[in-house]
Amino acid sequence: MTYLDLHCHSVASDDSRATVEQYLKFIQVHRKKGYTIDGIVLTEHRQFNFDVDYSQLAAEYGVIVLKGAELDTCFGHMLVYNITPSLAKDVDFGDVKMDGRELIKAARHHGGFVVPAHPGRFGIGLVEYMEQGEVFEDVSIVERVNAGSKPEENERAEDLCQRTGYLGTAGSDAHLASHIARAVTEFKADIRTEPELVDALISGEFRPVYIQETAAAPVA
């Protein structure tokens, strides 16, 4: 079993105020309270940095740190996992009007995986586009729980999953250290790398949970 926060932003994203180390420190606060958090996936806005290496910090704090991205598309924000040099060559990450359907195909072609972020968010979520008649044949998983969304937006995401059979992930969408891991995805598999994350997503053996559900025993 692996509990991963699949959506968070460090100061590399312009609207975040948390460093990666501050996230890892704050995960220790959660762990002291009895919650289980194994790792995070950094999903910076509109960018991916191949050179930055968090392995030393990850080892120091005992937290898995994986890297992805949150890209803007014409169909809303999309979380991209297992970004390879070939995918980054094929896709302009800074293009805020890119075709989301093409991104999903390109990611799969290069061994990555795309999960539409906060699909129930008013104005910019996948639900809005589906209501306009858009069809997304290659979507099979969406972010069902986004801890930065309004409750009714998460309810719309849940309705979407029930209607379509989409599977759902969870992430905090943290921009502050204290918001890390408020929602996480529980995977059956042990995950230590980005390719393992993609395999686990494809397996379908995961579910979205709030941090309170990760406690082995009730937390006061």
Q: Which residues bind another protein (CB under 8 A)?
A: 15, 17-18, 22, 25-26, 28-29, 32, 148-151, 175-179
Closest separation in Å from C-beta 33 to another protein: 8
Closest separation in Å from C-beta 67 to another protein: 22
d(C-alpha 168, C-alpha 184), whole Å: 11
d(C-alpha 103, C-alpha 193), whole Å: 22
Look up residue 90 and give its two tokens. Answer: 């094929």
Closest separation in Å from C-beta 72 to another protein: 17
CB nearer to another protein: pick between 25 and 192: 25
CB nearer to another protein: pick between 176 and 189: 176
The SS3 of residue 45 is strand
CB nearer to another protein: pick between 67 and 179: 179
Beta bridge partners of 43: 68
The SS3 of residue 20 is helix
Closest separation in Å from C-beta 56 to another protein: 18
Cα of first residue to Cα of last residue in the chain, in angstroms, is: 24
CB nearer to another protein: pick between 150 and 188: 150
d(C-alpha 37, C-alpha 211), whole Å: 8
Look up residue 125 and give its two tokens. Answer: 């979520």
d(C-alpha 180, C-alpha 28), whole Å: 11
CB nearer to another protein: pick between 104 and 147: 147
Closest separation in Å from C-beta 215 to another protein: 16
Closest separation in Å from C-beta 1 to another protein: 25
d(C-alpha 116, C-alpha 104), whole Å: 9
CB nearer to another protein: pick between 29 and 59: 29
Tell me if 47 sits within 8 A of 79, measured CB to CB. no
- The 10 Å CB-count burial string (b at 16+, else e) for 145-162 is bbbbbeeebbebbbebbe
